[in-house]
Structure 1
């Protein structure tokens, strides 16, 4: 269990116990961006010699910034936008610029009219949605309350996944809207795919150069340490993962289930890796060997022939196994393949009016299907250059380190389905399903500050997690029990069948008996619990949103008493349906119209009491 901020103070710290407690409360919910700002604020007070009597409370956010300050705002769902924004902020500070870095939901929108230099780094989720931490920011800038911005200079970096039709849509909208409000672009918008080094990293470099040329740098005070500082050992990172031993790989769906869901236990011993409930474990996967051989055969390539990727020379087989994405199609690759295939069908799919066909093609076909259906001539080097880089996959950690120590547990659905007589797989899930106990997996921890348990352990928590979305809530319940949290825990879980798909059933039942879980509501969608209409109607599928609606009065009562609400799982359908149901429940039991109910839910989100980890 991590130490509290106050416990990290030196023994000679000049704070009373009451002040230390206040410090705990102040810093408990802050992410790295907030802590950065708070440290600068406190240092400024110290330099100015402001007496305690002159200030009664720390303001929620700094007031209007000097004209030479560069503000960097990020909205991030998986951490990529956050990492890039932090990198840009760090480099800008090192160059002598005054910088403030803010997560989008911490940005005081009233200050937008006073900004002079603004960089926005923001991702697009699913079908053109903003990340959860940027919804309010995007709505404000897009809405009628946004001010005219004739003195603002800005730039936008959008991140997305080109396998989705609304690629980088939020970045495009913000870039267009800021210009409509009268702001001036410092540099053109970047639209970055999962291949960050192609667009995102060069954009950050250009953005830094432009900022240094445009914004007046601020002299920085230097501090001479009293004694040399020892270099901290470097923890494993995304770029330098830890080789973690796989301790257990167990199927937890029953015989007869059409789903292969695995419980994995991974050793972090000796890694120095630490995580909090709600964080994710990143896995660098290897493509299925059978798929690599099928791709080589379809193109008539020799797997041992050398290819070049950046500064590396390696065999084509190795490049396809470990360095290139083979299971997800993207529009840029389709464009290049269509030119070589000379197919009227592909040309039609890629035409502006073929957006629906393109979305269907990307959703339903993998690379191997495209290569076989629309043959084309490639050289090996051109082919690997056109494919997107293989990226790590993030899995919500299904354990509490306070309970399992130097381990991390995962709940993984193995994606495997038939196309004709052949199988297709998901990259990382197949990699993990194939992994044998004792093998080593390249891993790193991805922090998720947006998905944290309440610092006040007396608060109730409501956890909505169908399917593998239940994973972080296993860690939540473990952690709350281990740390003696007095608040109640309510879990809403769903899956197709109770007999075969009730994940962690024995653990949940044991937690109920021990009083560690106070309420458990279940929705098994294919068990035919509910009929609709007349007697011969098809049984309706029961999902978690039905549980929420049926228990709406109690759900609203928990929220009114201060409960924190969490949703984890599928973003495209489940999360949207749950969100809509929550609005309906608040409207019905809170006596509000739909708009007021939506505002209520948005307010919970801004307070950190409504958090989603959706994918």
Structure 2
């Protein structure tokens, strides 16, 4: 149903259609269908009773294709209902015409450190520049995609929503934020937008969101989250020494009969399950019975509480969304009060899980059947592939840091990493699927210099790439800057890297081990120590790659690159930042940070 705000918008809304109809086309030469949408009825406008189709422009910013899938579904439903729908890759949209658009829908994911996808950067920068127009006649809504695991959840979508409003555009619906399991939320958003738009034109029957069926089709791949491949574990070994502070493992999984291939830079997605001990402890804390049957939806058969908590829901960590859900469901006054404070939420969720939440804020009213309203689905885990498909056509390697730490007087365990390390022997099978990464791709031309920067398990895609180059007999300007904690304890894939260096597959190797000296040395220090050579490589057309933990490394490396440009190229701060932005847009600075 429409909100009060949306009803108010409809009550005074005047349509200004354009009779031009165009087919789906995302070429830069295409212009959006523009209407004279002054918002007032004149000789050149028609009222809400117009029989002309309404023009709707849908812009998507995508990193992995999810936003594009949603946008295509939305476009298809609009055309089914006689709207003039125009679908745009943000890169192709003629942004100078933005102020002439009447209905604008933004569907955008977030990547990196709360940043827009590469194909959204131009529009994002334009809207935040002095050239941005006033948009008082534009009506808009935003669907944002992200992952609640990260503090910058849906940040790019939030930024678009904010700047459009700041420029005077009329927000016709509150922004909707989608978690990793975006399908149901996005389908509901499409239904809501169809209902909203249907009430602006008399030649379109009012669409009831309860009657409208919207289904976002999965990409045409052999295996996916809903249909994973069962991969046999062939190898499961520890890469680090016993003295290392963090255990890292190397796993090889069979892809025999998997019909698709992978490339260096792609990921293997593992669908984990929770630790049975944690599940049992949670059921005990709630005072429930493990064999209690619950039904997650009308289409699902009843299952035991233990089974549902083991496979379906995330219980090992908290998110802001979960705390807000708990505040609504628990009936606990103290939690209700605290859940209004964003700073308190961020402090509380760190290092805590659902058991902590139950113990700290006893639910007054919570039943097993309410779990889907409280918990989010258990996210799959993505691991950068560490092998070449050309070298290993029927298997795949991944590099896994085993997450263990103590917080709030309890030891905490990573869901997937500890499952792989301690509960996945050789011969077991894991549900997995391959995931393409179109924005982290390596060149194979002999004359293209490459600088690879990585720390910890961020070495994985570089091992895949160098393994493939060695297999193809390629040599050239290939520079790796790798960091970890201790040369003797966690120099990952040391033998491989040193062999490739000796063979000329790798032309330069710089190492940074942070715990070997009193002054901690990180990869960003190696960049600045070699700033003159680094800048020379950039001027010679080098492509820079960055892979690893975004909290521990990404921002430091980014600042070091700016420092190199300022020191060696005499750039000022603004020009250096703009230079890096242009490198990102042209895929000369590619990042896979997590």
TM-score (norm 1): 0.79
State the 1:486 CA deviation.
5.0
How many angstroms does 1:193 deviate by? 2.9
Choose which of 465, 489, 499 in structure 2 pairs with 1:500. 489
* Secondary structure class of the residue paired with 1:199: helix
Q: CA deviation at 1:581?
A: 0.8
Residue deviations 1:157-191 (CA, integer Å, cap 9, x gap): 01234455554343233223223334344543212
Give the aligned partner of residue 143 of structure 2: 157
Give the Å deviation of 1:125.
Answer: 5.4
Q: Are 2:372 and 1:372 aligned? A: no
Matched residue SS, 2:583 = helix
Deviates further, 286-295 or 271-280:
271-280
- Of 523, 526, 539 in structure 1, the residue corresponding to residue 512 of structure 2 is 523
Q: Is contact 1:132–1:612 with CA below 8 Å preserved after alignment? A: no
CA drift of 1:129 comes to 4.1
Question: Is the aligned partner of 1:603 residue 2:582?
Answer: yes
Within 1, Cα distance between the matches of 2:195 and 2:162?
A: 23
Q: Is the 8 A contact 1:64 1:114 kept in 2?
A: no
Which of 307, 329, 339 is the aligned partner of 1:350? 339
SS at match of 1:401: coil
Whether 1:72 and 2:61 are equivalent positions in the alignment is no
Does structure 1 conserve the Cα–Cα contact (< 8 Å) formed by 2:449 and 2:478? yes
Shift of 1:233: 9.1
Kindly indicate whether the alpha-carbon contact (under 8 Å) linking 1:152 and 1:183 is maintained by their aligned counterparts in 2.
Answer: yes
Helix, strand or coil: the match of 1:469?
Answer: helix
Q: Is the 8 A contact 1:63 1:111 kept in 2?
A: no
In structure 2, runs of 5+ residues without a counterpart are 1-21, 35-53, 204-218
2:558 paired residue number: 579
From 200, 207, 219, the equivalent of 2:186 is 200
Shift in Å, 1:272: 0.9
Mapped contact 1:289–1:321 kept (Cα < 8 A): yes
Which residue does the alignment assign to 2:466?
Answer: 477
Question: How far apart are 1:370 and its partner, in Å?
Answer: 2.1
For the 8 Å contact 1:245–1:438, the answer to whether it is kept is: yes
Matching of residues 104-115 of structure 1 within 5 Å: 104-105=90-91, 107=93, 109-115=95-101
Give per-residue Cα distances to partners, 1:52-74, cap 9 Å, x unaligned: xxxxxxxx823423347654333
3-state DSSP of counterpart to 1:237: coil
**Partner of 1:536 in structure 2?**
none
* Structure that is richer in helix per residue: 1
- State how far apart, in whole Å, the 1-side matches of 2:429 and 2:273 are: 12
SS of the residue aligned with 1:259? coil
Corresponding residue of 2:429? 440
> Would you say 1:188 and 2:155 are equivalent positions?
no
Which secondary structure does the structure 1 equivalent of 2:295 belong to? strand
Deviations, residues 260-310 of structure 1 (Å, cap 9, x unaligned): 111111111112122222111111111111111111111121111101111
CA distance in structure 2 between the aligned counterparts of 1:404 and 1:99, rounded to whole angstroms = 45
Q: Which residue of 2 is the match for residue 393 of structure 1?
A: 381
Match of 2:371 among 355, 370, 383: 383
Match of 1:544 in 2: 523
Q: Does 1:567 align with 2:546?
A: yes
Q: Deviations over 1:485-529 (max 9, x none)?
A: 45421111101111011010000001111111111111000000x
Q: CA, structure 1 residues 163+234, in 2 after alignment: closer, same or farther (shift >3 Å)?
A: closer
RMSD: 3.1
Matches within 5 A, 1:110-121: 110-121=96-107
Kept after mapping to 2: 8 A contact 1:494/1:523: yes
1:255 offset after TM fit, Å?
1.8
Q: Secondary structure at the match of 2:350?
A: helix
Match of 2:4 in 1: none
1:463 is aligned to: 452
- 2:161 aligned residue (172, 175, 184): 175
Distance (whole Å) between structure 1 residues aligned to residue 305 and residue 352 of structure 2? 23
* Residues 66-75 or 369-378, more deviating: 66-75
When residues 82 and 430 of structure 1 are mapped into structure 2, their CA distance, relative to the original with a 3 A threshold, is farther
SS at match of 1:402: coil
Deviation of 1:203 after TM superposition, in Å, equals 1.0
1:247 and 1:267 in contact (8 A); partners too: yes
CA separation of 1:165 and 1:598: change in aligned 2, threshold 3 A: closer
The residue aligned with 1:291 is: 278
Deviations 1:562-599 (A, max 9, x none): 11111111122411111111011011101111111111
Query: In structure 2, do the counterparts of structure 1 residues 373 and 71 end up closer, same or farther at CA, with 3 Å as the change threshold?
Result: same
**Corresponding position: 1:302 with 2:281:** no
Distance in 2 between residues matched to 1:187 and 1:276, nearest whole Å: 41
Aligned to 1:23: none
Tell me, in whole angstroms, the C-alpha distance in 1 between the residues paired with 2:88 and 2:427: 42
Note if contact 2:59-2:104 (Cα within 8 Å) is conserved in structure 1.
Answer: yes
CA contact 1:459–1:486 (8 Å) conserved in 2? no
Is the alpha carbon distance of 1:418 and 1:181 closer, same or farther for their aligned partners in structure 2, counting shifts above 3 Å? closer
SS at match of 1:309: coil
Number of aligned residues? 535
Deviation at 1:113, TM superposition (A): 4.0
Q: Check 1:159–1:233 CA distance in 2 against 1; reply closer, same or farther (3 A cut).
A: closer
- The counterpart of 2:269, out of the listed 274, 282, 286, is 282
Q: Aligned partners of 2:444, 2:95: CA distance in 1, in Å?
A: 26
Which of 255, 261, 264 is matched with 2:251 structurally?
A: 264
Call closer, same or farther: CA 1:599–1:422 in 2, change over 3 Å: closer
